[in-house]
Amino acid sequence: MNTVAELWFTNKDINERWSQVREDFWGDLKVATVLAVKRLLETRMEVEMQDTIGARHWKRSPRRRTYRNGSYYRGLMTSFGWVGNLTIPRVRKGIMRFKCLPNYQRRTQDVDRMVLEMFLAGVSTRRVKEVLRPLLGKEVLSASTVSKISKVLNQQVSCYHRRGITDDFEYLILDGIYLKAKSPVHSRRRCILVTYGIRKDGTRELIDYRLACNGESQAAWERFLTSLNNRGLKGSNLKLAVVDGNRGLWNALNMIWSNVPRQRCWAHKLRNVVNHVPKRLQKVCSNEARDIYNAGSYWEAIKAFKQWSRVWRSISPKAVECLERDLEDLLRFYECPKPMWIKVRTTNIIERVFLEVRRRTRPMSCFTNIQSVERIIYAIFFRLNQIWRGKPLKEITQNS
């Protein structure tokens, strides 16, 4: 007969006992599942072997076509875990080809799909091993194996660069980022040109990217923009293109979309302005210049510039000339709806994408080849576009 003390449990006791039961149950279930998969595969191969030979074990049959020749052992990585010591039967003549387990296969297709999904979701090739260890057991994939699996993305990358583009974008943000990749002789910095678009309904998309051999030169930008134009982005609905001060990009825009207004990035411009100011005054100069683009209207911004220039012309006339030279292009964003001002007056919206690129590529001091750069950029863009799908910018949706 149980006493009252034996039947009494505190919350702590219940939690501890339940955790033990849960660990034992799931641990036993995983072992049993792997064992069941092993038996299922071996049974299936034995059935296929009997069909091929035309006779069962130790049976005489006039339909016999060949004889068994022992067996060997193989391992297989599945989504249920590592299945070791699979018994693979052999035939005396020829090579036995099983439908359930292709020759030389060491991983099931669902494992490869799992790795690709993790890679596209932002997990680096080196960390895939850590993530898969509790799921698949000790026999996990190496970083080099994950890299080989990710090469399947090369075809997707090619299709991404060739797909058609809709001509419904109103705002374009264009910029470039540099990554280091190996060449046949030595490593070198590779420039990646990027186009980010915002549609009328507020949906956004990383439209495309292109590795440029000549950096951010006019020829490189012209090839990239011409490709976008030929694939459908004619620019008929474009209201503004946000760019930095790169002269090659400006000239390329004049060639491809000459009628599209351009907004000069304030963040890049202010960095150029403060370079003409003594270091001890740079922060003050930059903070006071922000009153120009924070103004409530175009004419208030002009007034703020005149006030700022009166103060700083005597201190650093070159700084004032640097800002005054491009003032008209710096204030283009006032022609857009007010909720969009903060989004289109700088290229910061695409710089956040570059932060994600640098986060993923920081552990990689140097890429082994151009294809690996293409794959990692495609994975980042694919993930971000999936996150943004169906989530328009609130600045546009609230205004409409």
Contact 309, 292 (CB under 8 A): no
Domain boundary assignment for the chain: 11-106, 157-399
pTM, full prediction: 0.72
Contacts of 376 (CB under 8 A, 6+ apart): 357, 360, 361, 364, 367
Nearest residue to 305 via CA among 287, 326, 324: 324
Residue 240 CB coordination number (10 Å): 21
Q: CA 59, CA 55: separation in Å to the nearest integer?
A: 6
Q: CA 119, CA 150: separation in Å to the nearest integer?
A: 8
Helix, strand, or coil here: 207? strand
Nearest residue to 395 via CA among 171, 91, 137: 171
Helix, strand, or coil here: 337? coil
Beta bridge partners of 286: none
Burial class (CB in 10 A: 0-12, 13-18, 19+), 148: middle
Q: DSSP readout, 250-299?
A: HHHHHHH-TTS-EEE-HHHHHHHHHTTS-GGGHHHHHHHHHHHHTSSSHH
Helix, strand, or coil here: 78? strand
Contact 258, 225 (CB under 8 A): no
Q: CA 55, CA 60: separation in Å to the nearest integer?
A: 7
Element spanning 170, H or E: strand 169-182
Per residue in 140-182, pLDDT (tens digit) is 677 777 777 778 888 888 999 999 999 999 999 999 888 766 5
Helix, strand, or coil here: 365? coil
Q: CA 357, CA 370: separation in Å to the nearest integer?
A: 15
Q: CA 388, CA 379: separation in Å to the nearest integer?
A: 14
pLDDT on residue 358:
78
pLDDT on residue 271:
92
pLDDT on residue 399:
58
| CA end-to-end span of the chain | 74
Which of the residues in the chain have pLDDT under 50?
A: 1-5
pLDDT on residue 82:
78
pLDDT on residue 1:
47
Element spanning 176, H or E: strand 169-182
Using H for helix, E for strand and C for coil, what is the string for the chain? CCCHHHHCCCHHHHHHHHHHHHHHHHHHHHHHHHHHHHHHHHHHHHHHHHHHHCCCCCCCCCCCCCCEEEEEEEEEEECCEEEEEEEEEEECCCCCCCCCCCCCCCECHHHHHHHHHHHHCCCCHHHHHHHHHHHHCCCCCCHHHHHHHHCCHHHHHHHHHHCCCCCCEEEEEEEEEEEEEECCCCEEEEEEEEEEEEECCCCEEEEEEEEECCCCCHHHHHHHHHHHHHCCCCCCCCCEEEECCCHHHHHHHHHHCCCCCEEECHHHHHHHHHCCCCHHHHHHHHHHHHHHHCCCCHHHHHHHHHHHHHHHCCCCHHHHHHHHHCHHHHCHHHHCCHHHHHHHCCCHHHHHHHHHHHHHHCCCCCECCHHHHHHHHHHHHHHHHHHHCCCCCHHHHHHC
